[in-house]
Structure 1
Amino acid sequence: MKRAGIGFYIFLIIFVFLVMFPFIWVFLTSIKPVGEIFTSFKWFTTNPTLSSYEAALTNRPLMRYMLNSFVVSSITTLLSVGFAAFAAYAVTRLPIRGKGLFLGIVLAASMFPQIAIISPMFNLITSLGLRNSYFGLVIPYITISLPLSIWVLSTFFQKIPFELEESAKLDGASPFQTFRKIIFPLATPGIFTTGILVFIAAWNEYLFALTINSDDLWRTVPVGISMYQSEFSIPWGDISAATVIVTIPIVILVLLFQKRIVSGLTSGSVKE
């Protein structure tokens, strides 16, 4: 038993190392002098420096990129989860015909690759005059995230006992009151988890952000980092430093709300 326990911990350490290796390597690269990045493959440097971080913040408006990503991701999360909550409640709790067909259409919509819809979406955003704006990205981001949000929240809503809803109906509660006072509070872990997933997906999205917002002041983090390049070389130190900086808010977000995320992911997995 002791050997099995030791083996498990060794496997766990190796697994965590493999998962964290890309971020560790990026961080170690970000504190190396520029000359060592291209001439040495050593893990650690003897002359750590923060010059790459200074260059990442001054050569490009990185903080503006982060602000754009935060605003777009927040608006997308609020709208997507809000609409998905009502849709998921309707298809799982209300006597509506064609629920299976609706969920099938939602699932089919989520399978479309982004490249297949980028042309009509670009034409729509351009005709609406929303290029180089926050809502110019929010609209396609909702298109991507809404189907997945509906499916995830439908799973959580199905786990809530129907007896609670029937009791509320006997007390004279309307469907909206039942949703607001009973279903929504009980599904909070799932709603919170869905919101985190939508936020991270919007934060990391690249294709729509590259195509729709071409003005440098409206670019988001993934596109902004891809612009860290010169005519004759690629400044890997600046790119690594910028990657570390923009990853920190996501790491803090996950660490602060990890209990809620775990609670949402495991909600309904244990049947009483």
Structure 2
Amino acid sequence: MSRLSTIARPLGLRLALLVIGLVVSLPLLFLVSLSLRSPDDVQNGGWIPSRFVWANFSNAFDTIPLATMARNSWIVALGAALLTVVIAVPAAYFAARARSGQRLSGVLLGSYCAPPVAALLPLYYLFKDAGLTNNVLGLILVDGLANVPVAVWLLEGFVRRIPEEIEEAAWLDGLSAGATLRRIVVPLIAPGIVAVGLISLFLSYNEFLFAVSFSQRTDSQTLTVGLSLFQGDHTVQYGQQAAASLIGVVPMYVLAVLAQRWLVAGLTAGGVK
């Protein structure tokens, strides 16, 4: 009986994981189905297209400058993730070690709890005066700064797990606080930095509100804005929109699958504060 239970337990676990994976994949599979349908076929519902329309993928590039928008999305996401990490690492170190660090964490998390639309109007006029509207640099700045609070909150847990005696030994060897951060703390919290960078990358890549508000020209708009442009006055090109969504989703999905080991390891390593 024990042998049967030993065999059945991993089999049941694999079956449960298979069911969960299938359920999670349903939206992506339905998106694939939509990308291969004509507008009339979309209205009929169902999961399997009555006729495969492969032209939706090529037509999507003709309807909007899809390649340019996808490139802008990656530039903004990578730049914003780098900016977030550069700011969040020293901020998290200060929040974990300084006496007033808890106050900094509270202020940052409080600002993150506010709805982004509350900052939309003042940021727009500020960026307009600085010449950063219709510019990917402006989106990098706003997305990178917007993700700093959650990045500091995550990295603070990693810093607190480092024994302070290690830093004190570095100070006795003549290292400054900045050198200790660069040469001692940063290598020790590298898994957390990778995890935070990936999370910031995903958040910036999917951001829509600031992208649609600060960029009115197609040469500076991101893919999330481009997906909203398939809607006309009377019709919506669902097939082309789904095809464009797949073009944007698949690379990020593959990146998430490939990086899941570092992402999960990083988040679980910093889970205890």
Deviation at 1:223, TM superposition (A): 0.7
What is the distance in 2 between the residues matched to 1:99 and 1:77? 23
Identical amino acids, percent of aligned pairs: 30
RMSD of aligned Cα (Å): 2.0
What is the distance in 1 between the residues matched to 2:268 and 2:248? 29
Letter of the 1:20 partner, please give it.
Answer: S
User: Counterpart of 1:216 in 2: which secondary structure?
Assistant: coil
Partner of 2:46: 42
Partner of 2:208: 206
What is the distance in 2 between the residues matched to 1:138 and 1:42? 40
Partner of 1:82: 86
Q: How does 1:40-79 map to 2 (within 5 A)?
A: 41-45=45-49, 47-79=51-83
Partner of 1:26: 31
If the length of structure 1 is used for normalisation, what is the TM-score?
Answer: 0.91
What is the distance in 2 between the residues matched to 1:268 and 1:116? 31
If the length of structure 2 is used for normalisation, what is the TM-score?
Answer: 0.91
Letter of the 2:43 partner, please give it.
Answer: F
What is the distance in 2 between the residues matched to 1:26 and 1:177? 49
Q: How many residues align?
A: 268
User: Counterpart of 2:147 in 1: which secondary structure?
Assistant: helix
Structure 1: gaps of 5 or more residues: none
Q: How does 1:87-126 map to 2 (within 5 A)?
A: 87-93=91-97, 96-126=98-128
Distance 1:126 1:97, change over 3 A: same
User: Counterpart of 1:209 in 2: which secondary structure?
Assistant: helix
Partner of 2:180: 178
What is the distance in 2 between the residues matched to 1:151 and 1:42? 44
Report which stretch shifted further, 22-31 or 43-52. Answer: 43-52
User: Counterpart of 2:53 in 1: which secondary structure?
Assistant: coil
Structure 2: gaps of 5 or more residues: none
Deviation at 1:15, TM superposition (A): 2.2
Deviation at 1:252, TM superposition (A): 2.3
Deviation at 1:21, TM superposition (A): 1.1
What is the distance in 2 between the residues matched to 1:206 and 1:176? 36
Report which stretch shifted further, 135-144 or 193-202. Answer: 135-144
User: Counterpart of 1:217 in 2: which secondary structure?
Assistant: coil
What is the distance in 1 between the residues matched to 2:110 and 2:183? 32
Deviation at 1:42, TM superposition (A): 3.2
Letter of the 1:235 partner, please give it.
Answer: Q
Is residue 14 from structure 1 mapped to residue 19 from structure 2 by the alignment?
Answer: yes
